[in-house]
């Protein structure tokens, strides 16, 4: 018996009783290179031998090899020599023996990307994994850690903090702005009640003004009453007191001169409603804690707010002037509101007619409660003081032309119209 036959029989005897792993459920016969026969010695069990597709090209079948974690597939490999004992039996952890004639099989498959561990919570051995190289990482600053932790909030929080501080400062300062920035108006000095006598608020001088004086000109508009009866009737209605009244309490009536037709602007009740809502507004005189007001329709009021015809206005205000205006007659305790201005407004007052009516009420009631002196435009481009004669102009030069010796300087300042004592409320 030849040596090759003997080795083949010995191999068969040693394989008896051991399980054989097959791939694909079949075996392929391959003729060894250099041999012409297809005998038993020239055949290889592909499942056990790792299955050569092309021994000369050094290619491996991964199904038999187990994975691509073996030797470099581009390397040249020679088939096992005939008759050698290169077929090795490898026993897996599952007690299944596989043949590994080339010594390529390794029980540790920790590097296989698709291999799942039986116990994911068990610590890995890490024996076959190369340590990760140290990287030169720049240490992060506390500010960087703060930004990386909070993201966009890191930028929003400082902005919110600054806005909060500004709001608090504004609230502590009472919402006041600098005169240069806001043109916050003033009122002048408050006179005692005993000093209220005569006509307050009428233009000074002898009444002889140029008829072509542009300031105070009457704009085009609806009809008004030239002459009334000189008598006034009280509009029915009263109101609760508004304002704190720490020092002064005022009562008033709303009256309409007989002969004045109010139907064109809502009737007598509409006039009374405008007066009440204006004085009760937080931007009006009731904002000052010193004052309190209430409307009555019986008894003697502190002053009477009276809508008056053109002729009666000129008589009550004590001057003959081609410019229509209003005033407070302290002797009569009457706030005289010119019906001509109530209907038409004023060219110099650049606001709407409703705002002008509010200005007319606040300005003349301001005289009645003690603010006797008129005020100039304080800040160029700012809001005009409510005690400025805005009927004649919002420019100091225009008002100074009416009274060159008055308190208003000819300094070129110009204000914006403003109907309120406290425009910010």
Nearest Cα to Cα of residue 332 among 353, 352, 317: 317
- Res. 32: pLDDT tops 50: no
- DSSP string computed for 180-225: HHH------PPPPGGG--SEES---SSS---TT--TTPPPS-S---
Question: Longest Cα pair distance anywhere in the chain, in angstroms?
Answer: 158
The residues, ordered by sequence, that sit 6+ positions from 260 with a Cβ below 8 Å of its Cβ are: 225, 228, 307, 308, 309, 339
pLDDT of 147 reads 74
74-88, 313-327, 407-421: range with highest mean pLDDT: 407-421
85-94, 287-296, 319-328: range with highest mean pLDDT: 287-296
d(CA 287, CA 36): 121
d(CA 266, CA 395): 33
3-state DSSP call for residue 341?
helix
pLDDT in tens, 198-232: 888 776 655 555 555 556 678 899 999 999 999 99
Read off the tokens for 9: 């029989």
Name which residue leads in pLDDT, 97 or 7.
Answer: 97
Question: At which residue do the structure tokens 């029980």 appear?
Answer: 107
Question: At which residue do the structure tokens 């006041």 appear?
Answer: 176
Read off the tokens for 37: 């026969």
Q: What CA dihedral angle connects 342, 372, 230 and 220, to 10 degrees?
A: -20
pLDDT band at 311 (very low <50, low <70, confident <90, very high): very high
% of the chain residues with pLDDT over 70: 57
Phi and psi (nearest 5°) for 148?
-65, -25
pLDDT in tens, 70-84: 444 444 444 444 444
- Res. 245: pLDDT tops 50: yes
Read off the tokens for 401: 């032309």
pLDDT of 19 reads 45
Name which residue leads in pLDDT, 356 or 179.
Answer: 356
3-state DSSP call for residue 8?
helix
pLDDT band at 27 (very low <50, low <70, confident <90, very high): very low
């Amino acid at each position: 018996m030849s040596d090759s036959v003997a080795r083949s029989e010995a191999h068969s005897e040693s394989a008896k009783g051991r399980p054989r792993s097959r791939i694909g459920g079949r075996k392929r016969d391959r003729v060894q290179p250099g041999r012409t026969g297809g005998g038993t010695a020239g055949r290889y069990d592909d499942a056990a031998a790792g299955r050569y597709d092309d021994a000369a090209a050094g290619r491996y079948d991964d199904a038999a090899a187990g994975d691509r974690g073996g030797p470099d597939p581009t390397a040249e490999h020679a088939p096992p020599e005939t008759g050698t004992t290169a077929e090795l039996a490898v026993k897996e952890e599952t007690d299944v023996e596989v043949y590994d004639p080339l010594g390529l099989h390794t029980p540790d498959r920790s590097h296989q990307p698709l291999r799942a561990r039986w116990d994911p919570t068990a610590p890995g051995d890490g024996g076959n994994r190369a340590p990760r190289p140290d990287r030169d990482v720049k240490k992060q600053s506390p500010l960087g850690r703060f930004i990386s932790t909070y993201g966009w909030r890191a930028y929003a929080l400082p902005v919110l903090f600054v806005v909060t501080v500004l709001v608090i400062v504004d609230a502590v300062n009472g919402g006041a702005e600098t005169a240069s920035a806001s043109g916050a108006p003033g009122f002048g000095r408050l006179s005692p009640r005993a000093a209220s006598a005569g006509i307050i608020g009428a233009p000074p001088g002898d009444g002889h003004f140029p008829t072509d004086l542009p300031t105070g000109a009457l704009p085009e508009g609806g009809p008004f009453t030239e002459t009334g009866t000189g008598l006034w009737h009280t509009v029915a209605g009263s109101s609760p007191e508004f304002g704190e009244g720490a020092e002064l309490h005022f009562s008033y009536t709303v009256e309409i001169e007989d002969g004045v037709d109010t139907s064109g602007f809502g009737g007598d009740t509409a006039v009374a409603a405008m007066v009440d809502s204006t004085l009760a507004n937080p931007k009006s005189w009731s904002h000052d804690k010193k004052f309190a007001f209430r409307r009555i329709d019986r008894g003697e009021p502190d002053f009477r707010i009276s809508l008056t015809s053109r002729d009666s206005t000129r008589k009550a205000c004590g001057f003959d002037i081609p410019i229509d205006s209003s005033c407070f007659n302290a002797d009569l305790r009457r706030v005289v509101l010119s019906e001509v201005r109530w209907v038409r407004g004023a060219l110099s007052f650049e606001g709407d007619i409703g705002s002008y009516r509010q200005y007319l009420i606040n300005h003349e009631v301001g005289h009645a409660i003690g603010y006797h002196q008129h005020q100039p435009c304080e800040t160029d481009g700012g809001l005009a003081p409510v005690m400025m004669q805005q009927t004649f102009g919002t420019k100091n030069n225009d008002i100074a032309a009416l009274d060159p010796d008055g308190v208003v300087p000819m300094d070129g300042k110009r204000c914006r119209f403003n109907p309120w004592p406290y425009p910010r409320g």
